[in-house]
Amino acid sequence: MIEDDSELSQLLSEYLNQYNINVTPAEEPYIGLSMLTQKEFDLIILDLTLPGIDGLEVIPKIREHSNIPIIISSARNDITDKVIAMERGADDYMPKPYDPRELVTRIKTILRRTQGQQEPTDSSLFELNSKARNITFDNKLLELTAAEFDILSILINQKNTAVSREQLLYDSVHIDDNSSIKNIDVMISRIRHKLSTINSEHSYIKPVRGIGYLLTEKV
């Protein structure tokens, strides 16, 4: 956790420890960056208003060497900061103050998606690498937005199972919970188009009437 408010850092560390989430605090951003080169971590909680260097500048420095998940924890709730943070590689953005229970949920959700270099799927067409945040289809790397990656990875992990639009919306880190369900249909259409440019013989994402969508390789 890169956070210059030592009192807040201690409170969050003690709270997260109750859920078996061990925190290593760093009050200075350069100390935090140095620690990343010395030890393996699963996730970073990063403040934006830091001494010496703004947190938005810290993100690309982390991304130069690591794909570690980053949760922004900041009192700055301007939409511009959020957009820049996500564009530079942050995985989530939590404006302070927030309920620490939500932080626990966000951490566990992100770690479920990023643990392990590659999730085994019995698919020869779709290969999901959550840590690198990429998906290959028919041995070709797909160019996906962050939200499209979230949606397709959920469908791959639940292959041959109908997934509701609501689940796709609420389980996607990079889609605002207040977004319209119709946005899911739009993004599914975009993903289908990207798949069809590689293999147009079959449609692998099928609509399930009254529910949502299902990813299958059965034709």
Q: In what order do the strands lie in the sheet with 140-141?
A: 126-129, 134-137, 140-141
Pair (134, 190) in one structural domain: yes
**Number of helices and strands (H, E) in the chain?**
8, 9
In contact, 174 and 150? CB cutoff 8 Å: yes
Pair (99, 154) in one structural domain: no
pLDDT in tens, 59-95: 999 998 888 999 999 999 889 999 999 999 999 999 9
Pair (57, 90) in one structural domain: yes
d(CA 60, CA 90): 9
pLDDT in tens, 153-195: 999 988 888 889 888 988 888 887 667 788 899 999 999 999 9
**Range(s) of the domain holding residue 211:** 126-215
Cβ atoms within 10 Å of 161's Cβ, excluding its own: 11
Flag whether 119 is in a domain. no
Predicted local confidence at residue 110, as pLDDT: 87
